[in-house]
Chains A and B, each alone.
Chain A
Amino acid sequence: MNDSQTDQQHRANPAKRRLSAQIRAAGAVAHITFIASLRSKMLPAMSCAIILALLVLHGTLKGDGTLTGHLTVLLRYSLSIAIALAGIALIWSSCAAIAQDIEEKHIQMVRVKPITASALWLGKWLGLMAGQLILVVLAGITSAILIVVTFNSPRHDSAARDHAMNQLLTGRLRIVPEESVTEADIREFITARPALAATEITPQLAENIRAHLNMMHNSVSPGEHTEWQFNVPAINRQDGPVTLRIRGLTAIMRRAEVDAKWLIIAADGEIRAELPMDYVWSGTRLIEFPADSVLPGETVTVRFINGAGSNDTLTFDPHDGIDMRIPAVPFSLNLFSAMVIVLCKLAVLAALGVTLGACFSFPVASFNHMALLFILLLAGFFAFATTPDVQRFAHDHHRHDHDDHEHTPGPEWLHHISESILVGIDFAAGPVTRFQPVGQLADGIKITAAEILNAILIMPGGYGILLWLLGSWLFSKRELALPER
């Protein structure tokens, strides 16, 4: 389409013409915002800081001395710190984006031109994100280079490399087992108890029964077994073993010997793999099975048998006791996906900063941004701490330890208000904080396309647009040439 055709279209549709003019104006603002971060040396300085942080942390933090440990530290901690550095710089520069333009009065030259408050906000945000894109790409590339160098170091043997490759330098699809306790199990439990059958089954009671049955299902006494079913999706899998990640809750602190074993059983009853286990664990363990023990697109049963010779009952975490991991994508793709989600998180941070900068002076905006971030990050912990179960536990514990003291809670209404605020903040921040791309990367868990799409829709698409609308509205209501107080 040539220019004259485009012009004709624009004349025919003034709304479209206005919109495209505003998009171009936003592009112009984005361009100078990016130029500002380059020429003010902010972006080059941050690039150097991130590379330096990764190099220094890589050289000093070695983990448990193994190759896998070293790489885990690099991915989980060094990369997190590098991203945190980029985030802090972003808080500073996003709060300054509009606030400093107002304070240094550049805004008086810009706002009298035909640009709307929303286009100006958008331009600032896009310019900041262009800088962040460079920083995130730089952090990703530097990490990848360090991983390659460490991986190929002659200090590590091939077994260490295989282990690191299988557990870390891969993107494994995480499959959780089917629900162990069905509605039929709950009904059967009730029917078997006449006293219970006579009472009304409230949702809370049904939930308690489910929790009880789930706990029973995850506790295995000597001579007994339990099993989980996994529906393996039909995927193009990568080379590498199948891993079971198990999380034990056994209270035994010693390394007790047991006579247990794991079986992987196909739908037709064929035993695909068998692995003995001779000691009790507590915490998380990874168990590797041969690659061909699980095939894409089938349903397999994982059975755990606690042998008759064992002395202890073994208990799995009823909420997160077991999952299966199958290599699905190469590490490079997983790293890229993680960086996309990191960028989405930074996009929310930038949007919040630009919005605060449109309402307050730079120092006030940056302080508020930091404070808000701090509250949002801690709200989850506080919201959990104020749940009735935890409160009851803390109260009982306190009474048990200090029987001579009277428990004196504050006013009930104050407790309800603060609890509601915390739950509200946690609810607002939850959709953003639940994305943990660096954690997934460091655990070798595949970041799926659905997760990336969700991250884009929720963070820049949801929170970003909300903050854009709010920031633009507040900015349009602000007088931009008030005399200094």
Chain B
Amino acid sequence: MSDEQNNSSNPTAVELTNISKVFLDFWHRPKVKAVDDVSLEIRRGEIFGLLGPNGSGKSTTIKMILGLLFPTGGDIRVMGHGPRHVGARHNIGYLPEESYLYKFLTPVETLRFFARLFDLSAEETERRILELLDMFGIFHAGNRLVGEFSKGMARRVGLAQALINNPSLVILDEPTSGLDPIGCRQVKDLILNLARSGKTVLLSSHLLADVEDVCDRVAILYNGKIRAHGHVRELLEQTDRMRMDLPPLPPDKTRELLTSLRNLLGTEPEISHPAMNLEQFFLDVVEKAYATTETASGVGRQGKLAPFLEQTGR
């Protein structure tokens, strides 16, 4: 069996074994222990969230997975290889916490540059560029310099470059940073769609709602150590409470139900109307406004998942 076949049959996309990272000062004396004995396993096809406050070691962990930082101790395997293996990088897409794009390039040039690093053919490159620009709603700005973009638009270019190679492992560090609520929702939808098409997503964020909405499993880091990890539903479930969803009842039926519950529980139950969350309300308002507006200068309406991303592999 070839190395490549071996790797694709391996159910683990990323494996961290007792990794630690100590940053040194100018005199090579230990300064900060950013990651302390972290072990993790991210399975193929899942959306994994790395959670933690600022400075908890999320970005450091991600940068060690990508080979941008070298662990002080422990072992890292990415798609069956060491993190600095050039071949493994063919299947990785990465969006850093800021979009460190070349300001003097246009989105089209940026995507063309990164596509050439992945050795994509010219035809394939142009097709993917068009699909990605359409998908992220920046088709109209494809030939403007990235340096002229708002943070949100630059973020979309950053996301597009992370997907140009149709990666099987997508690593997103604070992907919704700098995006408006519509952008945030779209990124979350994108993550779900990527997972549906069989890709593994490693997501780092300190925005808990983002992670809760999309992740299958999470690990919570604090001060470089994993404090909790597991399936989101299992971690959040409160087994000492129950919730019932009912259609609206007339007042007399409500009173009757309350009396029965009071007698059954021996305490006063709480009754209220469920509220739509603000994100959903905002998206509805903007969706209505979009339908009545002819042109907009910022990000355009985003398209559906680029067809090439629905396929697995490069």
Residues of A in contact with B (beta carbons under 8 Å apart): 3, 18, 21, 24-25, 27-28, 31-32, 35-36, 39-40, 104-106, 108-116, 476, 479-483, 485
User: Number of B residues contacting the other chain (C-beta, 8 Å)?
Assistant: 35
23 contacts between A and B (CB under 8 A): A21-B119, A24-B116, A25-B119, A32-B105, A32-B113, A36-B104, A106-B102, A108-B63, A108-B96, A109-B101, A109-B161, A111-B67, A112-B66, A112-B67, A112-B68, A112-B92, A113-B89, A113-B114, A476-B84, A480-B69, A481-B68, A481-B69, A485-B26
CA distance A22 to B257 in the complex (A): 72
A114:B118 contact, CB within 8 angstroms: yes
B117:A111 contact, CB within 8 angstroms: no
B104:A39 contact, CB within 8 angstroms: yes
A28-B116, A109-B100, A114-B89 known, 5 other contacts, Cβ within 8 Å: A32-B105, A32-B109, A105-B96, A106-B102, A482-B69
B98 at interface by CB-CB < 8 Å: yes
Residue of B nearest to A115 (CB): B117
Contacts of A31 in B (CB 8 A): 113
B117:A106 contact, CB within 8 angstroms: no
CA distance A108 to B162 in the complex (A): 12
Contact (A27, B26) CB under 8 Å given A32-B105, A35-B105, A108-B100: no
| Contact residues of B between 200 and 252, Cβ < 8 Å to A | none
Tell me what chain B mostly uses at the interface: helix, strand, loop, or mixed. loop
Smallest CB–CB gap between B88 and chain A, Å? 8
Instruction: Convert B119-131 into 0s and 1s, putting 1 for each residue whose CB lies closer than 8 angstroms to a CB of A.
Output: 1010000000000
B101:A111 contact, CB within 8 angstroms: no
CA distance A108 to B165 in the complex (A): 17
Residue of A nearest to B86 (CB): A114
Smallest CB–CB gap between B117 and chain A, Å? 4
A109:B119 contact, CB within 8 angstroms: no
Smallest CB–CB gap between A127 and chain B, Å? 12
Residue of B nearest to A110 (CB): B117
CA distance A113 to B165 in the complex (A): 10
Report which of B23, B94, B109, B145 forms a contact with A112, defined as CB distance below 8 A.
Answer: B94
A480:B104 contact, CB within 8 angstroms: no
CA distance A115 to B116 in the complex (A): 10
Contact (A32, B102) CB under 8 Å given A109-B94, A109-B161, A482-B69: yes
A113:B117 contact, CB within 8 angstroms: yes
Residues of B in contact with A (beta carbons under 8 Å apart): 23, 25-26, 63, 66-70, 84, 86-87, 89-90, 92, 94, 96, 98, 100-102, 104-105, 109, 113-114, 116-119, 121, 145, 158, 161, 165
A106:B116 contact, CB within 8 angstroms: no
Contact (A483, B23) CB under 8 Å given A105-B100, A106-B102, A112-B94: yes
CA distance A326 to B268 in the complex (A): 114
Report which of B101, B104, B165 forms a contact with A35, defined as CB distance below 8 A.
Answer: B104
CA distance A476 to B83 in the complex (A): 13
A109:B116 contact, CB within 8 angstroms: no
Smallest CB–CB gap between A20 and chain B, Å? 8
5 closest pairs, A vs B, by CB? A28-B116, A481-B68, A113-B117, A39-B104, A21-B119
Report which of A36, A479, A483 forms a contact with B102, defined as CB distance below 8 A.
Answer: A36
CA distance A111 to B86 in the complex (A): 9
Contacts of A109 in B (CB 8 A): 94, 96, 100-101, 114, 158, 161
Contacts of B94 in A (CB 8 A): 108-109, 112
Contacts of A106 in B (CB 8 A): 100-102
Residue of B23, B89, B102, B109 with highest tally of chain A CB at under 10 A: B102
A479:B66 contact, CB within 8 angstroms: no
Residue of B nearest to A120 (CB): B117
CA distance A425 to B113 in the complex (A): 40
Residue of A nearest to B68 (CB): A481
Residue of B nearest to A105 (CB): B100
CA distance A111 to B66 in the complex (A): 9
Contacts of B89 in A (CB 8 A): 112-114
B117:A114 contact, CB within 8 angstroms: yes
Contacts of B109 in A (CB 8 A): 32, 35
Contacts of B100 in A (CB 8 A): 104-106, 108-109
B70:A28 contact, CB within 8 angstroms: no
Contact (A479, B90) CB under 8 Å given A31-B113, A106-B102, A115-B117: no
Contact (A479, B68) CB under 8 Å given A32-B102, A40-B104: yes
Contacts of A114 in B (CB 8 A): 86-87, 89-90, 117-119
CA distance A108 to B94 in the complex (A): 9
Residue of A nearest to B96 (CB): A108
CA distance A331 to B33 in the complex (A): 66
Contacts of B26 in A (CB 8 A): 485
Smallest CB–CB gap between A473 and chain B, Å? 13
Contacts of B96 in A (CB 8 A): 105, 108-109
Smallest CB–CB gap between B224 and chain A, Å? 13
CA distance A476 to B145 in the complex (A): 31
Contacts of A105 in B (CB 8 A): 96, 98, 100
CA distance A3 to B25 in the complex (A): 52
CA distance A27 to B119 in the complex (A): 11
Report which of B68, B87, B114 forms a contact with A108, defined as CB distance below 8 A.
Answer: B68
Residue of B nearest to A36 (CB): B104
Contact (A480, B68) CB under 8 Å given A105-B96, A485-B26: yes
A481:B63 contact, CB within 8 angstroms: yes
B118:A113 contact, CB within 8 angstroms: yes
Contacts of A116 in B (CB 8 A): 86
CA distance A25 to B100 in the complex (A): 19
B101:A28 contact, CB within 8 angstroms: no
Contacts of B104 in A (CB 8 A): 35-36, 39-40
Smallest CB–CB gap between A128 and chain B, Å? 15
CA distance A115 to B90 in the complex (A): 9
Report which of A28, A39, A482, A483 forms a contact with B117, defined as CB distance below 8 A.
Answer: A28
CA distance A115 to B68 in the complex (A): 13
CA distance A32 to B68 in the complex (A): 22
Smallest CB–CB gap between B168 and chain A, Å? 14
B105:A25 contact, CB within 8 angstroms: no
Contacts of B70 in A (CB 8 A): 479
Smallest CB–CB gap between A475 and chain B, Å? 12
Smallest CB–CB gap between B73 and chain A, Å? 15
Contacts of B145 in A (CB 8 A): 39
CA distance A112 to B119 in the complex (A): 14
Report which of A111, A476, A485 forms a contact with B68, defined as CB distance below 8 A.
Answer: A111
CA distance A169 to B307 in the complex (A): 65
CA distance A119 to B139 in the complex (A): 31
Residue of A18, A104, A111, A476 with highest tally of chain B CB at under 10 A: A111
CA distance A124 to B158 in the complex (A): 22
Contacts of B92 in A (CB 8 A): 112
Contacts of A480 in B (CB 8 A): 68-69
Residue of A21, A109, A116 with highest tally of chain B CB at under 10 A: A109
Contacts of B101 in A (CB 8 A): 106, 109
